[in-house]
Amino acid sequence: MKLFLLTSLAMFAFAANSLLSRMAFVDQAIDPLSFTLIRIFAGAALLALLVKPRVSEIKQIVNIRNNKMSALSVVGLSTYAYAFSWAYVGMDTGMGALILFATIQLVLNIIAQFTGAKTTALTLIGILVAFMGLVILLLPGQSAPDFDRALIMMLAGLGWAGFVYAGRKSTEPLKEVAIAFRWSFIVSLPLFFMADWQSSSIKGILLAVVSGALASGLGYALWYKVLPQLGLQNAAQVQLVVPVLALVMGVLFLSEPLSTTLLLACLLILVGITLAIRGKKV
């Protein structure tokens, strides 16, 4: 029961990130750069309470030759965070989450094939079905998102996939996530002088803090706490509920439209990814 509760909270946190970001931008309460900077800082601050900073972290990041995965985790997390915000400036909550998680799962499945994972017919069929769903989602029409924004969200998915790949063999996942957040904040410091802070409202700042500290920092902490108990296969399946949750949140809290095309694409992507995951067990 405890595992189910913590896992559910983590999934709600992931979906809430999409909702909070969209809420911040739909009323132009804050610009995407300011939102992302606050989000990264808030996440780094909360994780610093869970994993205290140490001097040894500097050597771990600076020595890139021996710690390429650490550098990849920082680049991946930063790419995801900035692209995620810019994409949501012009995209509905559920649409963005669907494109994001479809990209993540497809990229991770493709990486698995290139790194020697066993390829089954079911896995290939699943990847093809999910890709068809993504194509339907992006076809021109009333429900299609702005193509540029969709590409930016795909970039966010690539960033998150890189972040996951970097930590796939981590023995201390929470520690490495905390380090990635801290260094993402450090490399982002010059951008603080470029952000439009004067146009940031109290509402926008609060949404960014909640997104960073609770939905991101605490959400990731909960996720990495339950991940060893779930196992990678079950964990991958559990994450499929996030786009659905985000879709429902967008409809309930922002009155976003729910089209037949969106539902069809959602069904194809979720079924495709489920087949791909099942195929790995064969």
Residue-by-residue pLDDT tens, the chain, 282 positions: 788 888 889 889 999 999 999 999 998 999 999 999 999 999 999 999 888 887 777 666 665 555 666 788 889 999 999 999 999 998 889 889 888 988 887 887 777 777 776 667 887 788 788 888 878 877 766 566 788 999 999 999 999 888 878 877 767 778 888 888 998 999 999 999 999 899 899 999 999 999 999 999 888 888 877 877 776 556 666 777 888 889 889 989 999 888 888 888 888 888 887 787 676 655
**Number of structural domains in the chain:** 1
Q: Does residue 222 lie in a domain region?
A: yes
Residue 237's domain comprises 2-115+146-256
* H or E segment to which residue 223 belongs: helix 219-230
Quote the CA–CA distance of 156 and 150 in Å, as a whole number.
10
Largest CA distance in the chain: 56
Closest CA to 219 of 4, 15, 3, 1: 15
Is residue 122 in a domain? no
Residue 267 within a domain: no
Q: Is residue 178 part of a domain?
A: yes
- Provide the whole-model pTM: 0.86
Q: How far is CA 47 from the centre of its chain?
A: 17
Is 138 among the domain residues? Answer: no
Domain membership flag for residue 187: yes
**Closest C-alpha among 229, 205, 219, 185 to residue 50:** 219
158 inside domain:
yes
Q: How far is 169 from 115, CA to CA, in rounded Å?
A: 14
